[in-house]
Chains A and B, each alone.
Chain A
Amino acid sequence: MIILIVSLLVILMITAAIAACVFKDLLGAVIASCLVSLIAAVLFYMLQAPDVAMAEAAIGAALVTAVFIIAIIRTRRHEE
């Protein structure tokens, strides 16, 4: 059961990572990279590293996403 959940999460994470590279809409790409960090945090928690999971969720999913969104506000949303 746990193997099933983990493999599902890993497949979702890889899909999100590929989507972050492929998307032409940069806001979508940022949200996809946020999803990568969020799933990484869940996987860290499952690997019994809650401290690292918290840092990953707070910095990778929240702050880095916010910095990218501020960058998009100041530039353009769509890639040419």
Chain B
Amino acid sequence: MRIIISIFLLVIIALGITLTLVAIPFNESTAKVGEYYINNGIEETGATNIVTSVVANYRGFDTLGEVTVLFIAAVGLGAVLAAGKKSKQGIKKVEPASLVVYTGCRFLFPLIILFGFYVFIHGHLSPGGGFQGGAIIASAFVLIYLACRGKRPSMVSTKVIESLSGLAFVIIGLIGLGAGGYFLMNFLPAGVPGTLLSAGIIPIIYIAIGFKVGSELTGVVNNLIEDS
């Protein structure tokens, strides 16, 4: 009896979702705000990547909130892991990686770091940005953790970089507040769209976000791997 009722409910839910999806029109914009960003984003902000102009300029305050959420998650993880650190028995000894893996990872590490920096410095010109570049940098550190055990940056340096870049983000916002009247205002000139030194404060904010996300995720993985 319960199976019949649950199947009946599932059919009703599936029917509802299907009818809703059918009713949504594809390939035509229903929201006016998206159209506005596509038509005026490049002239107003100078960033050729429209996603970046939304993330770092039109919705810069939301991005600050996102970065704060990530920061709180990293701090909470560090606190939880530090609290449970007493039980150290039962940790297996891990054998070191082979010479091929070790050498290959050490060769790849600077290239991945370079790619991460490229992604967030060119965030306003090409796809990608602070979050993606930061995640790529963190993945380079994960590679070096898993392949070359014993090599890791100090936790203090990741925390210092993270705090300084978060502070830079807020200070840029406050300068905008002082110069023009609202938080995170784009007070620098927009420049010529398509060049590296364009789009006002967007590249600066994205570089700050890239450093912050990269050091934060590196710190998270460092915390997790610390006594394994």
Contact = CB atoms under 8 A, between A and B. Distances in A.
Contact of A62 (B91, B139, B225): B139
Given A50-B127, A58-B135, A69-B146, A63 B92 contact: no
Contacts of A50: 127-128
A67 interface: yes
Nearest to A66: B142
Contacts of A73: 92, 94, 228
Q: How big is the A interface, by class?
A: 10 to 19
B128 A54 contact: yes
A32 B146 CA distance: 19
A74 B132 contact: no
Max count, chain A CB within 10 A of own CB: residue among B94, B131, B145: B131
A73 B128 CA distance: 32
Interface string B115-127: 0000100000001
Interface string A55-69: 100110011001101
A79 interface: no
B128 A74 contact: no
B228 A55 contact: no
A53 B136 CA distance: 13
A55 B135 contact: yes
Q: How big is the B interface, by class?
A: 20 to 34
Contact of B119 (A54, A63, A71): A54
A31 to B, nearest CB: 14
B111 interface: no
Contacts of A63: 135, 138-139, 142, 217, 221
A66 B136 CA distance: 13
A59 B131 CA distance: 9
A70 interface: yes
B135 A62 contact: yes
Interface of A: 50-51, 53-55, 58-59, 62-63, 66-67, 69-71, 73-74
Interface of B: 49, 51, 91-92, 94, 119, 127-129, 131-132, 135-136, 138-139, 142, 145-146, 217, 221, 224-225, 228
